[in-house]
Amino acid sequence: MKDYLEIKRQSLPNHVERSFFEALKRTAKEHGYKGFMARPRFLYRRSMDHFLQVISKIVPYSGLRIWLHRKRGVKIGKNAHIGPMVTIDDVYPNFVIIEDGVSIAGQNFILTHNKPLEYHKHLSEAFVAPVTIKKNAWVAIGVIILPGVTIGEGAIVASGAVVSKDVPPYTLVGGVPAKVIKEFEMKDGIPVGFKK
């Protein structure tokens, strides 16, 4: 599946509740679908994304989860692991990049867009931005990763963290919002302990 939007931070319109057909028309256009069959093609794509996302949460094997998310447009490297009940953005899955050797435990949310109500437009920006999880990073259970975040190479995100800013490489982060707890001591490119 080809990308339907260029993978860079982009502004979005704020959310306004509309009828199904009006919402379909506007959302297809927002996602870059044009021409004669734009709405049916977009509806098919969104329906397939939703179906693949739901199935990916419950299948018992990481390799199958990875295959399903790749079909949705998520870029996933080699030797990655995705646990059960992981939600990768329902609307813009193609904005997620998971590099080689990444481990994502279960019950995590990876979000690439923020779309507040029109009512809140002066308080919060509506945008889509890529999320990148760099090589050999480990995201523990119950983590929420917000739009535009890069998790550095070899980093560990502790259980229950809410990641709202970039995570430096070779660090342990945790909390709400996530902050650096410790840095790793490295030897020959391998973490061997924590710096004191």
Q: Summarize pLDDT for 108-159 with one digit per residue, the tens.
A: 999 999 988 888 889 989 899 999 999 999 999 999 999 999 999 999 999 9
Helix (H) or strand (E) segment spanning residue 173:
strand 171-174
Strands (DSSP E) contained in 14-135 are 75-76, 81-82, 87-88, 96-98, 103-104, 109-110, 113-114, 127-128, 131-133
Domain residues of the chain, as ranges?
A: 18-58, 62-194
Q: pTM of the predicted model, to two decimals?
A: 0.90
CA distance 153 to 190: 11
CATH class for the domain made up of 62-194: mainly beta
> Which residues does 129 contact at the CB level (< 8 Å), separation at least 6?
8, 9, 10, 95, 112, 113, 147, 148
Helix (H) or strand (E) segment spanning residue 193:
strand 190-194
Confidence of residue 16 (pLDDT cuts 50, 70, 90): confident
Residue 102 tokens, joined: 């990444």
